[in-house]
Amino acid sequence: MSVTRFKYLEALSAITPIHNALLTAGDLITDVFAKLQGLLQRSSKKVILTSNLSGGASTTADVAIQTLTIVGNDSQLQDLFEVEIYGVWTQPLLGGSSTNLWIKVNDTKEALVTLPNTISLVTDQGFHYKGLVVVRQIGANGSVMATGSAVLNTNATASTSLHSTDTTPVTVNVTNNWTIQTGFNFSHSHASNNITIVNAKIHQKM
């Protein structure tokens, strides 16, 4: 009996997960394993930052923090993903310059929070950013809505609270793999620009 069990376990690596399927009468043991693998894969959708990430100096390019890939056909209506980012930011006073935090759904930038730097030099001040990503429709013409908000300290005793103004979901073919990415950028290049991320996650709420 134990030999048979081990053979089944060895076969798991060759089984393709089946998503969004219930067990039915007549399922083979491989079908059961495939559906179980699909369920386990669904419940483990998260990425957690495990070491500090810094960037932004002398560039206006997007700096990616994390990317979560959602497997095709694994999305369900009203799937909810939470985004959280904590860190510190530095930016000199530059007319017209801004600090931008965002979420990308595939390659579409959404949930944009922009802080124009018109106050003073900001050096190593704390901030946090939170976002929600919701699957509104599934299928080849699925839609995903992303929104975000942030609180950024501008000095030791003052902070600014900002919110994205998104009102339109992104069209996503969720029968294919799709991604949620977090990141930031500066609108003007400067050698002193910097953001250091110390904690971050993208996590599906079950």
Average pLDDT, the chain: 88
Residue 6, pLDDT > 80, answer no
User: Does position 40 have pLDDT exceeding 80, yes or no?
Assistant: no
Q: Is residue 191's pLDDT more than 90?
A: yes
Domain count, the chain: 2
Higher pLDDT among residues 120 and 148, named by residue: 148
Buried b (16+ CB within 10 A) or exposed e, 34-71: bbebbeeebeebebebeeebebbeeeeeebebbebebb
How much is the pLDDT for 9? 60
Q: Count CB-CB contacts under 10 A for residue 148.
A: 23
* CB contact at 8 A, 150 and 127: yes
Stated pTM of the model: 0.82
Looking at the structure, tell me whether residues 68 and 99 fall in a common domain: yes
Phi, psi of 86 (to 5 degrees): -130, 140
Dig out the tokens for 169 from the structure: 């979901």
Residue type for position 2: S
One domain, residues 184 and 111: yes
Q: Rounded mean pLDDT of 17-40?
A: 74
Boundaries of domain holding 141: 47-205
Distance, CA of 141 to CA of 182 (rounded, Å): 23
**Domain check: are 105 and 186 in the same one?**
yes
Name the nearest CA neighbour of 100 among 115, 119, 88, 120: 115
The pLDDT > 70 percentage for the chain reads 86
Highest mean pLDDT among 15-29, 111-125, 127-141: 127-141
The answer to whether residue 108 scores a pLDDT higher than 60 is: yes
Are 88 and 72 part of one and the same domain? yes
Q: How many CA atoms are closer than 13 Å to the CA of 159, on its beta-carbon side? A: 14
**Statement to judge: residues 164 and 85 lie in one domain:** yes
E-strand stretches of the chain: 46-48, 53-55, 63-70, 80-91, 98-105, 108-116, 122-137, 142-153, 159-163, 170-172, 178-186, 194-205
Residues 64 and 78 in one domain: yes
